[in-house]
Structure 1
Amino acid sequence: MEIEFLGTGAGSPGKFRNVTSTALRLLDERNSVWLFDVGEATQHQILRTTLKPRKIDKIFITHLHGDHIFGLPGLLSSRSFQGGNEPLTIYGPKGIRNFVEVSMRVSETKLSYKIHYQELTADGLIFEDPKFRVYAQHLDHRIECFGYRVEEKDHPGELQVDKLKAAQIPSGPVYGQLKAGQTVTLPDGRTVNGQDFLGPAQPGRIVAILGDTRQTPGEEKLAKNADVLVHESTFAKGESKLARSYYHSTNIQAAELAKRMHVKLLLLNHISARYTGKMALDLQHQAREVFKNTKVVKDFDAVDVPFQKLIKAGAK
């Protein structure tokens, strides 16, 4: 699982930051890529990465401001020309379907694949498969806006081979059945439960990706115990009143949320064009005074989301 930033700027493209788009690479987990927002020229940004548009099978839109959706028609069209024939699902506020369908109709664009739409009206679970759950939560912006929480389900514990050998259970296909947690009858008549030979489950990872927002209780539900929190930082320390008037957040507010909700890593994006070079680093330094494990990301940064190390029984 890896997060790659295709655009980290706010409002309009700049020389060093494109507008918002974030890719969650799930190639090892489900051989797919999920996009969160598709700002103008996202497909151009993708050309500078190893991402394949045909691997994108889900797009999550936080809200319908142009800097978060103007790249969507072009990307959807190009996906057809680049071997993307599998269906794609778009999640987002009411109106996202109309935006896409009008764009396709007016430009007479024919897609080689089916688009499914899930327009969100309420908070809660919006997707689940055997490996992941995705939750949406309203935020506080000038127009309807959502944040998303991706929860990976726990991985089964490792098969304890030494324990199997000690119980004189011969190797073979039975190991695969026990690894799956099944109850198996052995050739000698013994019945064994696979759960008795598994180590502790590996907790799944949690990634929260928020849209534009003022501080709101909904953020806490998204961010709680997240391995990675992606949060906007349109304004800097000391600008909380200005941030509130524009329905945005400061770097300090994001850091306080991360600390309060026991986040492991905070990634700040949606950086105003006012902050370049050293000023962008100042945003990071300010936030680290509150929450040390903070990084202001830039376009094409890729961040691995590692598993948390399990503490073995008896370890101190």
Structure 2
Amino acid sequence: MELLFLGTGAGVPGKRRNVTSIALKMLNERGAVWLIDCGEATQHQILHTSLKPRRIEKIFITHLHGDHLFGLPGLLGSRSFQGGTEPLTVYGPSGIRAFIETALLVSNTHLQYPLLIEEIQEGPVFEDSHMLVTAEKLDHGIDSYGYRFAEKEKPGELLVEKLREEGIPPGPVYKKIKEGQTVTLPDGRVIDPAPYTSGPQPGKIITVLGDTRQCESAVRLARNANVLVHEATFDAKSEKMARDYFHSTTKQAAETAERAGAKKLCLTHISSRYTKEEEQQLVKEAAERFPSVVIAHDFLEVAID
């Protein structure tokens, strides 16, 4: 499981940073990619990566500002033109359905795959046997959501050497034991699976916040997250400007990560006012409060440890 940053700028595209989009790659876990936000030219950014649009299974839109949304109609159309036939679901605030349906209608774009559109509320927005995705509103002037992607607890590892030592031969029985089933061997032995598996492994947690001021819902969403992706549009000394524009500073992002007990902080949504050299100061400001921090750049890939 990895996060791939496709766009890390704020407001408008810059020479070094495109506007917001992040890919959550779960190719080993479910053979799929989920996108969080889809700013203008996201599909162009994808061309510089190994991602395949047909692998995109879900798209989660945090809010309806253009720098998080305007790339969506083009990507939906291209996915169809490039042979995508698997269903795709788009989640987002109220209004996302009208935006997508209007864009596809007036451009006469016909999709060759089922498109589902879910207008979300706070709380669980998706759940299956592998993942639980929850959303809460942030503080951004318009409805802006953060998403918590929580992988469910995974079965423990099979203790293969112990099985072999006790004369239990490999085969389908190993799979049943790993799945927690009691099995009866041909020689009559009844095998309780518990001694032959390690304890359950906790799932990973990734929190991606939309644009926001500091708020309690951001802390709740990021509680014990392996990775927190938090906007840091402004530097620490621009706190008033950040509040006026419903955004956060580097220091505020770090404070949220610390309060939430997150393990790693990724700063993104960086204003184009900051040069490449000045961006190192942004990292230093956050690191004074939360040492495990990186500043995202386009095409940065972060493994979820």
Give TM-score, length-normalised by structure 1.
0.94
CA distance in 1, matches of 2:24, 2:166: 43
Which residue pairs with 2:213 in the alignment?
214
Moved more, 205-214 or 112-121: 112-121
Q: Which amino acid aligns with 1:200?
A: G
Question: What's the Cα RMSD here?
Answer: 1.2
CA distance in 2, matches of 1:74, 1:190: 60
Give TM-score, length-normalised by structure 2.
0.97
Contact kept, 8 Å, 1:182 with 1:195, in 2: the verdict is: no
Which residue pairs with 2:32 in the alignment?
32
Paired residues for 1:169-180 under 5 Å: 169-180=168-179
What is the CA distance between 1:203 and its match in structure 2? 1.5
CA change 1:197–1:145 in 2 (3 A) is same
The alignment covers a number of residue pairs equal to 305
Q: Percent identity?
A: 57
Q: Which amino acid aligns with 1:210?
A: L
CA distance in 2, matches of 1:166, 1:222: 45
Which residue pairs with 1:311 in the alignment?
none
Specify the SS of the correspondent of 2:173. Answer: helix
Contact kept, 8 Å, 1:26 with 1:32, in 2: the verdict is: yes
Which residue pairs with 2:15 in the alignment?
15
CA distance in 2, matches of 1:172, 1:11: 56
Specify the SS of the correspondent of 2:274. Answer: coil
What is the CA distance between 1:160 and its match in structure 2? 1.5
Which residue pairs with 2:41 in the alignment?
41
Which residue pairs with 2:54 in the alignment?
54
Which residue pairs with 1:312 in the alignment?
none
Contact kept, 8 Å, 1:7 with 1:298, in 2: the verdict is: yes
Q: Which amino acid aligns with 1:120?
A: I
CA distance in 1, matches of 2:165, 2:2: 39
CA distance in 2, matches of 1:51, 1:170: 41
Q: Which amino acid aligns with 2:60?
A: F
Summarize deviations over 1:172-209 as a string: whole Å, max 9, x none.
32222111110112223232221231112222111000
Which residue pairs with 1:83 in the alignment?
83
Q: Which amino acid aligns with 2:159?
A: Q
Q: Which amino acid aligns with 1:124?
A: G
CA distance in 2, matches of 1:77, 1:45: 16
Paired residues for 1:1-316 under 5 Å: 1-121=1-121, 123-306=122-305
CA distance in 1, matches of 2:170, 2:104: 57
Structure 1: runs of 5 or more not aligned: 307-316
Which residue pairs with 1:313 in the alignment?
none
Structure 2: runs of 5 or more not aligned: none
Summarize deviations over 1:144-187 as a string: whole Å, max 9, x none.
01000111112211112333344443433222211111011222
Q: Which amino acid aligns with 1:88?
A: L
Contact kept, 8 Å, 1:3 with 1:24, in 2: the verdict is: yes
CA distance in 2, matches of 1:249, 1:284: 14
Summarize deviations over 1:84-119 as a string: whole Å, max 9, x none.
111110000000010010001111111111110110
CA distance in 1, matches of 2:193, 2:171: 14
Q: Which amino acid aligns with 1:196?
A: P
Specify the SS of the correspondent of 1:285. Answer: helix
Specify the SS of the correspondent of 1:135. Answer: strand
